[in-house]
């Protein structure tokens, strides 16, 4: 429980757009603005103001939001909490967080990556996840995909075993969370639909021709 609270609070705190993260977690818990406001004993318009960036949440407010989301879920039977306590890990080849922010540009250079599309790739990231695409598709349910985000969505997701690149982006669209960037590892081909999906999600799409073992070694050196 404490880990989940720290995960949510940490992600809100480090985000450049905390309101968007608050909204994503609220939707993930399937809690309406009205229900969250009632639990927090505030007006729904206040929740809306935070989510739209009209107000900046301080540490006490972030804690109250996190406690309230957890509290509402407990009253409903704790389904979301339970799912997070037993995430599907099959298909995750490597996952880690960075102690300090890492320049996505520097990381792309390090893995000799090619930016296929995306204008928001000159940013910092706070972690990475390397995923076996086929195993993830076969073993993970929609909610299990949340486990690939570790402690923050401000991370790059690497997908190994990609044919055309459609499935990973479709999976990303099935959850309310969006990564900082997506990279394909030695893809067979990145088709136009994959690029269109990435552009619609506003996610920089990258490719690297490093084999997955070499890639993981480099990522671990950085972490």
pTM of the predicted protein model: 0.66
Question: Does residue 209 share a domain with residue 143?
Answer: yes
Question: Do residue 45 and residue 109 come from a single domain?
Answer: no
What is the domain count for the chain?
2
Q: Tell me: do 54 and 107 sit in the same domain.
A: no
| Mean pLDDT in consecutive groups of 10 residues from the start of the chain, 223 residues | 78 84 88 95 94 91 94 91 66 86 91 87 87 75 69 88 83 81 91 89 92 92 73
**Residue ranges making up the domain that contains 173:** 92-222
Whether residues 81 and 110 share a domain: the answer is no
Sheet with 124-132, edge to edge strand ranges = 92-103, 124-132, 156-160, 181-185, 205-208, 114-117
| 122 shares its domain with 60 | no
List the structure tokens of 102: 């890492």
- Do 77 and 130 lie in a common domain? no
**Mean pLDDT estimate for the chain:** 86
């Amino acid at each position: 429980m404490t880990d989940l609270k720290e995960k949510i609070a940490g992600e809100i705190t480090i985000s450049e757009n905390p309101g968007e993260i608050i909204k994503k977690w609220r939707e993930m818990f399937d809690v309406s603005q009205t229900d969250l406001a009632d639990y927090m004993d505030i007006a729904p318009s206040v929740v809306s103001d935070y989510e739209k960036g009209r107000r900046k949440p301080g540490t006490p407010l972030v804690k109250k939001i996190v406690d309230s989301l957890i509290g509402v879920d407990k009253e409903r039977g704790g389904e979301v909490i339970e799912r997070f306590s037993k995430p599907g890990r099959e298909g995750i080849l490597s996952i880690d967080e960075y102690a300090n922010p890492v320049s996505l540009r520097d990381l792309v250079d390090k893995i000799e990556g090619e930016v296929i599309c995306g204008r928001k790739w000159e940013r910092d990231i706070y972690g990475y996840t390397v995923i076996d695409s086929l195993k993830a598709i076969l073993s993970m349910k929609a909610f299990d995909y949340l486990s690939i985000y570790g402690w923050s969505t401000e991370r790059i997701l690497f997908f190994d075993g990609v044919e055309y690149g459609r499935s990973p982006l479709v999976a990303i669209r099935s959850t309310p969370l969006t990564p900082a960037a997506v990279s394909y590892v030695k893809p067979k081909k990145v088709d136009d639909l994959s690029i269109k999906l990435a552009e619609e999600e506003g996610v920089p799409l990258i490719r690297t021709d490093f084999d997955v073992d070499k890639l993981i070694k480099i990522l671990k050196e950085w972490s």
